[in-house]
């Protein structure tokens, strides 16, 4: 299966369906986040899920353990392949989320958003490097029993070495020449895979392209080509 999950972050359902149709031959799944879910809710997820691609429900749940567990239970009928919680919610919250999830749903913990860097951590009163911060939260996530973490390409190699059986979701993926946009810690697709990424989340480089099908086909082809070489 392709490791590429396409981030469809739009409130326009017709556009979301059109993008999903365009990328379905080369995508491993679709990532639906807060913008899409806020606009269309569970029914929107069902509509896109009807195309047959696995759904990554990126809601970054973050609340007291009981509330998060109840939210995971409420989302269970959608049968997401991947569901995110915030690692900063703590050990008990992550444990509660994993216990509430159905078999077949990977619960992964968001460590540090790829739009943040060391200066942002300092603003938050966290006097650690991004690498150290991610490593600490990755240890906490592993101890809590979730399936893996979300981290940038800069941290995935170290996370993989410390957690060989972990599931690693890497956003902020930018092919050569792509606009970085509001991301600060980005990685190229092949490098992230080589360093241990299980899933690559790619949004605007594909979804904002004039021909999303051509762009994802090129990215997928480059991954296969480089593996062969």
Q: Which among 60, 98, 106, 160 is annotated as catalytic? A: 60
- β 106-110/199-202 pair status: unpaired
> Is 60 a catalytic site residue?
yes
Residue 4 has phi, psi (to 5 degrees) of -85, 115
Q: What is the DSSP letter of 5?
A: E
Q: CB of 85 within 8 A of CB of 68?
A: yes
> Measured between alpha carbons, how far apart are the two ends of the chain, in Å?
19
32 burial (CB, 10 Å; 0-12 / 13-18 / 19+) is: buried
Closest CA to 134 of 117, 119, 112, 115: 112
Cα–Cα distance measured from residue 35 to residue 33, given in angstroms and rounded to the nearest whole number: 6
> Which residues are catalytically annotated?
60
């Amino acid at each position: 299966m392709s490791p590429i999950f396409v981030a469809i972050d739009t409130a326009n359902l017709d556009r979301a369906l059109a993008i999903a149709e365009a990328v379905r031959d080369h995508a491993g799944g679709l990532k639906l986040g807060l913008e899409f879910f806020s606009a269309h809710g569970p029914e929107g997820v069902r509509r896109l899920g009807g195309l047959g691609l696995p759904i990554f429900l990126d809601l970054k749940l973050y609340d007291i353990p009981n509330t998060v567990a109840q939210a995971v239970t409420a989302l269970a009928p959608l049968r997401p392949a991947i569901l995110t919680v915030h690692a900063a919610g703590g050990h008990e919250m992550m444990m509660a989320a994993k216990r509430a999830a159905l078999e077949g749903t990977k619960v992964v913990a968001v460590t540090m958003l790829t739009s943040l860097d060391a200066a942002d951590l300092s603003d938050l009163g966290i006097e650690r490097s991004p690498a150290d911060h991610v490593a600490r939260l990755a240890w906490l996530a592993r101890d809590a029993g979730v399936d893996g973490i979300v981290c940038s390409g800069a941290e995935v190699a170290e996370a993989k070495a410390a957690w060989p059986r972990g599931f690693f979701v890497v956003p902020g993926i930018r092919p050569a020449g792509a606009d970085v946009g509001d991301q600060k810690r980005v990685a190229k697709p092949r490098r992230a895979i080589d360093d241990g990424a299980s899933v690559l989340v790619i949004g605007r480089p594909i979804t904002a392209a004039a021909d999303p099908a051509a762009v994802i086909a090129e990215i997928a082809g480059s991954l296969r080509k480089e593996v062969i070489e």
